[in-house]
């Protein structure tokens, strides 16, 4: 593994992206009973895209009309667009534990695809750390009852979503590597998500939330400003400065952050097994850092 310093702002952005996303998954529960998933996605991504286009317009930074711009929009149709659609379809057929375990392969798959497609270096500590994190996730889920039986078609749809999400990390690295256009990339990505959101709404129906109270308004504001705008800007910024391996391994902290946020926001119970699994996941994420520290001391 190379011993040059890992970019601190990039790692911070990657971690904050995971934090605001996991918090958003809980905040979404405030609005979920009032709407369907496609309508909420379109509102969330649509308003975020409008805000970001307004920022680009006011700063005179509108992206030029060229092939790269079109590819960026097409990427957004895949992620978040297609990822969201596949996730909805898969979740309707299979159980929650299967979904969580399949998504646990994301930190493993993304770096391998980046190695194959972009030729990025892949030190053994990254897949090993990802496997350790997956083991911690399996332990965390082991004492939770599945919400229904597993379904192979549903699992396949979820897996397809994971593959698209992994490819999204590779595309984000390709789009942003060596460029200072991460805000433009995030805006175009969300614009593609809006197009796919329209397709999903046409297929599932339009049912917007009522927003009949202050809590609902605040929840929607968080979903737009933080879970969408901040998250996608931070994601693209991180991949403009870090390889997919580093960003992917940060994503392995999602179960840990999710448990912590659920405990803070809704008072969810945290068991001793959860704490043990948290330690295992953190150990997996820390493996590349510990290896770098050990080899630098030997050097």
120 Cβ contact list (under 8 Å, min separation 6) = 111, 114, 173, 243, 244, 245
- Reported as a single tens digit per residue, the pLDDT across 63-81 is 999 999 999 999 999 999 9
The pLDDT value recorded for residue 145 is 55
Q: How many angstroms separate the first and last alpha carbons of the chain?
A: 12
CA neighbor of 282 nearest in space, from 245, 258, 246, 249: 249
Return the structure tokens found at 3: 């011993």
CB-CB contact of 234 with 24 (8 Å): no
For residue range 248-273, what is the model confidence (pLDDT) as tens digits? 989 999 889 988 888 888 888 888 98
Contact 149, 96 (CB under 8 A): no
Extended beta strands in the chain, E state: none
Considering the chain, what percentage of its residues have pLDDT values greater than 90? Answer: 62
CB 226 within 8 A of CB 23: yes
Q: How much is the pLDDT for 5?
A: 59
Query: What is this structure's pTM?
Result: 0.90
CA distances from 237 to 5, 76, 182, 186 (A): 17, 16, 5, 9
Q: How far apart are CA 183 and CA 197, in angstroms?
A: 21
Mean per-residue pLDDT over the chain, rounded:
90
């Amino acid at each position: 593994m190379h011993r040059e310093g890992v970019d601190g702002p990039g790692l911070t952005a990657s971690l904050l992206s995971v934090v605001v996303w996991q918090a958003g998954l809980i905040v979404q529960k405030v609005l979920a009973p009032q709407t369907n998933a496609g309508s909420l996605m379109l509102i969330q991504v649509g308003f975020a895209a409008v805000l970001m286009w307004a920022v680009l317009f006011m700063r005179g930074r509108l992206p030029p009309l060229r092939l790269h711009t079109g590819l960026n929009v097409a990427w957004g149709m895949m992620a978040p667009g297609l990822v969201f659609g596949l996730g909805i379809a898969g979740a309707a057929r299979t159980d929650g534990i299967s979904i969580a375990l399949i998504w646990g392969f994301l930190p493993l798959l993304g770096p391998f695809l980046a190695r194959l497609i972009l030729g990025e270096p892949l030190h053994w500590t990254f897949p090993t750390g990802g496997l350790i994190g997956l083991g911690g996730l399996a332990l965390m889920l082991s004492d939770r009852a599945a919400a229904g039986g597993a379904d192979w078609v549903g699992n396949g749809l979820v897996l397809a979503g994971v593959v698209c999400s992994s490819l999204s990390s590779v595309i984000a690295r390709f789009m942003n590597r060596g460029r200072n256009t991460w805000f433009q990339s995030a805006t175009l990505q969300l614009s593609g998500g809006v197009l796919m959101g329209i397709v999903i709404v046409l297929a599932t129906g339009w049912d917007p939330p009522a927003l009949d109270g202050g809590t609902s308004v605040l929840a929607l504001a968080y979903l737009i400003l933080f879970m969408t705008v901040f998250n996608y800007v931070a994601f693209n910024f991180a991949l403009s400065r870090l390889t997919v391996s580093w960003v992917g391994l940060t994503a392995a902290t999602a179960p840990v952050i999710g448990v912590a946020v659920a405990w803070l926001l809704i008072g969810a119970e945290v068991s001793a097994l959860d704490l043990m699994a948290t330690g295992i996941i953190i150990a997996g994420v820390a493996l590349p850092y510990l290896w770098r520290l050990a080899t630098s001391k030997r050097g």
